[in-house]
Structure 1
Amino acid sequence: MLGMCTKCGRSIMGSANGCTVLSQLYHTSCFTCCKCGVGLKNVPFYSADGQSFCEKCHLMSLPKCDTCLKPIADRVLTAVGKNYHPDCFCCVVCNSSLDNTPFTVDNSGQPHCIEDFQKKYSPRCDGCSGLIVPDENSGKATRVTILNMNFHVACYKCQDCKVLLTPVTLSSSATSTNNNNNNNADNSTRCFPLDDMLLCQKCHIKRINKLTNKANTDV
């Protein structure tokens, strides 16, 4: 007698009827996959939590990659509640790996590298046409919004004399701000829009006077 079977607890009579697996004795007929029952003697198998699995059932028990839908046998990268192979977790725009890299997701949960997310979703400045992106320190994108236009603070200027205008308040990239109600701003650098043009007080008056003189001349 070889000993007692770990699974059924009965005696194992004869070496041909038994096998030793991970320092434990089994009847050959008892050493089977805990899921499908297929015999595991002389075939590859996997052990987890004291149970043995055939290769097929082992693969079925593994987490699936959300990108390629294949089992993840090695390191599992978990992000935004989903599992990935590290090589499969990539930016949906440029396909660059996001493993150990800062990233963000859009409203549908699609991962983006920071650069492509900003290119895709950040507003553009109507002054310089550049992207208005979050500051590295604060993490907020500061902009001036007026007449359905967006500006970097440094680009918010009179369109005639190019003097820097004083914004009412500074808004984040998700907030719209009307810049015509700044009672505390110096009037000389306030924005005085005229026919969709952004003007300082001095240039606004010049244009009004010019239009008035032209109207009087035409009459």
Structure 2
Amino acid sequence: MQKKLMCAGCKRPLDKKYIKALGKVWHLEHFKCAKCSKTLSTQTFFERNGLAYCKNDYLNLFCHKCSKCDEYITQEIVKAIGKFWHVSCFTCTTCNKPIQPPYFFEKEGKPYCNDDYAKNFAPICKACGQYIFEDYLKVLGGTWHTNCFTCKDCKQPIKKNIS
């Protein structure tokens, strides 16, 4: 005698029409979203920790929204500046070119590539004329790399904590 298949939802024997999902069998009407209880037998579902979810609930419960396009992120994700981004949406605020973390600068919660950050925000060293991205000194009406602020006579860097 063949053992009857039992519905994972109601624990009763299955009739002719049933669905096999998540390693179990279900009456069509008993395979439901774990959150909203919508029947999932005729639509795409998503699994998380052995439970089935409709698309809307899965996205709302488990996916972040992209900071740039406001769409849900279901693939690879970039977490930067305390926000979440699609890889393709993590671009420079000025030129819109893709940025590869960790090689970017942040200003007021927005990402910038090296070139645009320099052009828009970085001070220029009075001695060498290059953009300054790290520690610097603001003295004598100018901005200086710490190693570029040197003694006029001996050419040694002047340390900011020396009087």
For normalisation by structure 2, the TM-score amounts to 0.77
Provide the aligned C-alpha RMSD in A: 3.1
How far does residue 127 in structure 1 lie from its aligned partner after superposition? 6.4
Between the two proteins, the alignment pairs up a number of residues equal to 157
More strand by share: 2
Which residue in 1 is equivalent to 2:49?
Answer: 49
Larger radius of gyration: 1
What stretches of structure 1 of length at least 5 have no aligned partner? 157-163, 172-176, 183-219
Closer, same or farther: CA 58–154 of 1 in aligned 2, 3 Å: closer
| Matches for 1:9-158 after TM superposition, within 5 Å | 10-16=11-17, 18-61=18-61, 62-100=63-101, 102-106=103-107, 108-126=108-126, 130-134=129-133, 139-141=134-136, 145-146=139-140, 148-150=141-143
Which of 141, 148, 158 in structure 2 is aligned with 1:169?
A: 158
Aligned mates of 2:158, 2:149 — CA distance in 1: 15
Give deviations 1:19-58, integer Å, cap 9, x for gaps.
Answer: 2213201122210111222211132111111111122222
How far does residue 140 in structure 1 lie from its aligned partner after superposition? 3.8
What stretches of structure 2 of length at least 5 have no aligned partner? none
More helix by share: 1
Aligned mates of 2:84, 2:36 — CA distance in 1: 26
Aligned mates of 2:127, 2:46 — CA distance in 1: 63
User: What secondary structure is seen at the aligned counterpart in 1 of 2:29?
Assistant: coil
Closer, same or farther: CA 126–49 of 1 in aligned 2, 3 Å: same
How far does residue 170 in structure 1 lie from its aligned partner after superposition? 4.7
